[in-house]
Amino acid sequence: MSRLRIAVQKSGRLHDDSVALLRECGIDLRNVKDRLRTESDDFPLEVFFLRDDDIPQYVEDGVADIGIVGQNVLLEKGRDVEVVQELGFGKCRLSLAVPRSESWEGVPSLEGRRIATSYPRIVGDFLARQGVRAEIHEISGSVEIAPGIGLADVVADLVSSGGTLFMNGLREVEPILQSQAVLVKNKGLDASGQRLLESLLFRIRAVKRAKRNKYVLLNAPNDRLADIVALLPGMKSPTVLPLAESGWSSVHSVLSEEEFWDRIERLKAAGAQGILVVPIEKMVL
Ligand code: PRT
Ligand code: ZN
């Protein structure tokens, strides 16, 4: 295989983040606007721009070797592809929502009711697991208007901020699925394709890790150094360098997003001063 072929959404909510991720991996793409395909000069990658609904099938059929698609679409299409990496963008949930004026008595109360959704398979499986029989009406867009026009009693739709449901007089009552964009691969990818995928994954993981972490520099009085260093994990261990002013050191380390604020407060309390926090572009372990 000379080039790895990746399927990416042509336009829509996943397009920009997908292209940005490839660019952050050092893969420059020429002319992504209004194109059906493009190639990269600096990585053996060919990009197909498609509707997200078609991506699972293209990857299953091997027309594309890999693809970026939402877990919601992947589950709905039920295609036989392998998820190789969660990408952390395109986050949303598929949720049940009812008109705000109505009470909610739980999933069993859906028995015999009409549910409008673009995700009949996921919703159907969810109801079957709960032993509830309801009428699923598949509609391809503007699901949120279905109760207002008398088409359904309840909707199951994607939600991120909740603004769309709110504006349509609906209330989110039950999450069915949490979703984000994932990288999928064709299960029969050959050895050279697999090598290219590994190299792409190596870059993606370095970019993702870097985003989750910050580089921290601070000044520490030497008599407090032991306490301060103990608060900083670092990639191996923190770097400690003497400052020009005697009795002081500069300490450099890496902190993850989750522990960040807690550690910064404890570092200050332990005597750290002049704390600088800097973004990291790539992080290779
Ligand atoms: O043309 P194509 O078929 O490729 O695109 P599309 O119109 O089918 O999909 P698109 O671009 O809208 O979404 C692509 C993917 O983005 C989805 O499959 C999800 O994986 C992911 N995603 C993340 C979302 C949302 N967030 C989202 N909020 N997809 C859709 N929405 C819609 C939702 O359907 C509702 O209409 O946004 C509205 C709700 O948003 P809030 O913020 O008001 O709650
Ligand atoms: Zn779509």
**Could you read off the pLDDT of 228-240 as tens digits, one per residue?**
999 997 777 899 9
Instruction: Compute, in angstroms, the gap from residue 29 CA to the centroid of ligand 1.
Output: 24
Nearest CA among 6, 148, 177, 160 for reference residue 76 = 177
Ligand 1 atom closest to Cα of residue 160? 44
Which parts of the chain sit beneath pLDDT 70?
A: 1
What pLDDT sits at residue 33?
A: 78
What pLDDT sits at residue 1?
A: 67
Domains along the chain with CATH numbers: 4-89+181-210 (3.40.190.10), 92-179 (3.40.190.10), 213-279 (3.30.70.120)
From 93, 158, 161, 165, mutation site for ligand 1 pocket: most ligand atoms within 8 A of C-beta:
158
Protein residues within 5 Å, CB atom, of ion ligand 2: 52-53
Per-residue three-class SS string for 140-170: CCCHHHCCCCCCCCEEEEEECCCHHHHHCCE
pTM equals 0.91
What pLDDT sits at residue 154?
A: 98
Nearest CA among 195, 32, 71, 260 for reference residue 21 = 32
Q: How far apart are CA 209 and CA 66, in angstroms?
A: 21
**Is the CB of 100 within 6 Å of ligand 1?**
no
Residue whose token pair is 């870059």: 203
What pLDDT sits at residue 259?
A: 87
**Is the CB of 142 within 6 Å of ligand 1?**
no
What pLDDT sits at residue 216?
A: 94
Ligand closest in space to the Cα of 10 = 1
Instruction: Compute, in angstroms, the gap from residue 26 CA to the centroid of ligand 2.
Output: 28
Nearest CA to ligand 1 atom 42: 161
**Is the CB of 68 within 6 Å of ligand 1?**
no
Partners of 254 in the β-ladder? 215
**Is the CB of 7 within 6 Å of ligand 1?**
no
What pLDDT sits at residue 285?
A: 82
Instruction: Compute, in angstroms, the gap from residue 236 CA to the centroid of ligand 2.
Output: 44
What pLDDT sits at residue 257?
A: 84
Instruction: Compute, in angstroms, the gap from residue 169 CA to the centroid of ligand 1.
Output: 19
Q: How far apart are CA 120 and CA 268, in angstroms?
A: 53
**Is the CB of 90 within 6 Å of ligand 1?**
yes
**Is the CB of 73 within 6 Å of ligand 1?**
yes
